[in-house]
Amino acid sequence: MNTEQGIIELQTKYTYQENLLQILNEVVTQQQQELASLKDDMNRMRESLRGMMGSQLARPDEEVPPPHY
């Protein structure tokens, strides 16, 4: 292998690696956006559950004792 062929091979490998890095960067960016969206959804669901649970709970002085008492 001469020097010119070696340089061409290195340039080709560099181009493939550069393309792969771009693709991986796009995947990571998309996953980060999806993760942020899922976190927002989870926070909204958590708040919704808190609202529902709070309305169903009675105050301790309003609690009826269990039947075995």
Decide: helix, strand or coil at residue 63.
Answer: coil
Q: Express each pLDDT in 24-64 by its tens digit.
A: 999 999 999 999 999 999 999 999 988 887 666 666 666 77
pLDDT of residue 54: 67
Residue 2 region by backbone torsions, left for phi larger than 0, else alpha for psi between -120 and 50, else beta:
beta
Q: Which pLDDT score is estimated for 37? A: 98
Q: Is 45 helix (H, G, I), strand (E, B) or coil?
A: helix
